[in-house]
Amino acid sequence: MPRRLFGTDGVRGVLMERLTPELAQQLGRAIGAYFGKGARILVGRDVRAGGYMLKSAVISGLLAEGVKVYDADLIPTPGLQFNVKTGPYDGGVMITASHNPPEYNGIKVIGADGIEIPHEDEEVIEEYFFKGHASKLPWRSYTYDPIIKHEAIENYIKGILDQVDVDLIKGAGFRVVIDCANSVGALVTPRLLSRLGVKYVSVNCNLDPLFPGRPPEPSPDTLKVAAAVLRETKADLLVGHDGDADRAIVGDDRGRILWGDRDGTLLSAFAAEVWSELPRRVYTGVSSSILVEDFLRPRGIEVVWTPVGSVTISRMIVKDGGAISGFEENGGYMHTPHQIVRDGPMKTALLLFMLATLKKRMSELVDELPTYYPIKEKLPATREQAQCAVEKVKEHFANFRQVTIDGVKVLGEGFWVLVRPSGTEPVVRIMLEARDPEEAERLLNEVKSIISPCLGGEQG
């Protein structure tokens, strides 16, 4: 097996265990070698512990390779990506572990188009890294310092505002609850809402690398406090970011927290009408619900199933010549006229644009979707154990329609099941839905029983 640094979305690990300043500096040199001497690279970070240290180590490695560094410092991942795409940069590096627990941090590499570099290019960087690449440049190569880019966040906010009808949103009188996860979403989304004339209540919008308010992964469980605030204040919408604000999990005006495939489906149908010149197709990971097909295909919109991972979705959209959107059940949404990466603040503005245009409450739109009851669970497993589980499920459901591009997704009449190895944790993920909650529970127990021999014991 080849040695690997990169996972599904960048290099991640527990700070000072796997992810050390020594590793970050050598990785910076490898990234610098990949982009080449004289390349212009924008660097940013979220609020995580060790972020400044890792950013400094990466910058040191980049400078050692003769790269010209621009420092945006604290900024959401999509904010860095937008600046890379629209600015005079050859690429970017973001220090973040996104939704992972607070002890984690990470490093992701952005291409000149603002999208994470393809996985095959990550292998090029890994080769430089494991060979211990180190250029030996003349001392005159090291006479410049990083350039601070104070305007990066303002550039990003302006780019979002250009995509929506600001006056229409201002006239709607919206009230929003925003949960910033104690991280860099707090630097953008409250300011964005103010510029849109939206009254808001902020929750967990102070910066704190310990994430004291809630875990950095937004979900129906972690957003319970924010949902209670929404009900108390009778707000129109709840938005909860992850640690680097490239995702947004949404709650409707009744306080129901939605998985991202629900609002992603609604936004895609809306965007197909407003941006009618776009190819009538959407891209979504196999972890999304089959309600995406149920709702969009009758509207003449093709649904393309993809492996899990935003980088894969982004690169597939580019390769295939565009789409209305790409989205994931974890709250990531790509508004392609803006940028083909998931973007939590852009999604927030687009939701308000949709509500103001359609003159409907979020709960009304949600109730138009087919009803499925979701269950998500993960069980400890090595990669080999998880792959064994996938094969067991394939065999057991051999007579059903299957999608096997990432694990196995079984689609039946009124239900679906996905079993796949995680790309970021040593677990096997189980996701399923049925039209009846009791049937969903029965299906979960059935799947656990099927895969139990692979995991070394009883899982039911």
Query: What is the rounded distance in angstroms from the CA atom of residue 256 to the CA atom of residue 250?
Result: 8
Query: 11-150 has which CATH code?
Result: 3.40.120.10
Q: What is the pLDDT along the chain (460 residues), one digit of tens a residue?
A: 457 899 888 999 999 999 999 999 999 999 999 999 999 999 999 999 999 999 999 999 999 999 999 999 999 999 999 999 999 999 999 999 999 999 999 999 999 999 999 999 999 999 999 999 999 999 998 998 999 999 999 999 999 999 999 999 999 999 999 999 999 999 999 999 999 999 999 999 999 999 999 999 999 999 999 999 999 999 999 999 999 999 999 999 999 999 999 999 999 999 999 999 999 999 999 989 999 999 999 999 999 999 988 999 999 999 999 999 999 999 999 999 999 999 999 999 999 999 999 999 999 999 999 999 999 999 999 999 999 999 999 999 999 999 999 999 999 989 999 999 987 789 999 999 999 999 999 999 999 999 999 998 654 4
CA distance to 76, 261, 343, per residue, from 214 (Å): 18, 22, 21
Topology match between the domains 11-150 and 156-367:
yes
Q: Is 73 helix (H, G, I), strand (E, B) or coil?
A: strand
Query: What is the rounded distance in angstroms from the CA atom of residue 349 to the CA atom of residue 331?
Result: 14
Does residue 223 contact residue 257 with C-beta atoms inside 8 Å?
A: yes
Handedness of CA 17, 19, 20, 23 (dihedral sign): positive
pTM above 0.85, yes or no: yes
In the prediction, which pLDDT does 2 show? 58
* Domain-wise residue ranges, the chain: 11-150, 156-367, 373-455
Q: Which CATH topology does 373-455 take?
A: TATA-Binding Protein (3.30.310)
In the prediction, which pLDDT does 7 show? 87
- Does the domain made of 156-367 have the CATH classification 3.40.120.10? yes
Residues labelled catalytic: 98
Q: How far is CA 70 from the centre of its chain?
A: 24
- Per this entry, what is the length of the chain? 460
Which structure tokens are listed for 341?
């990466």
**CA-wise closest residue to 431 among 393, 401, 458:** 393
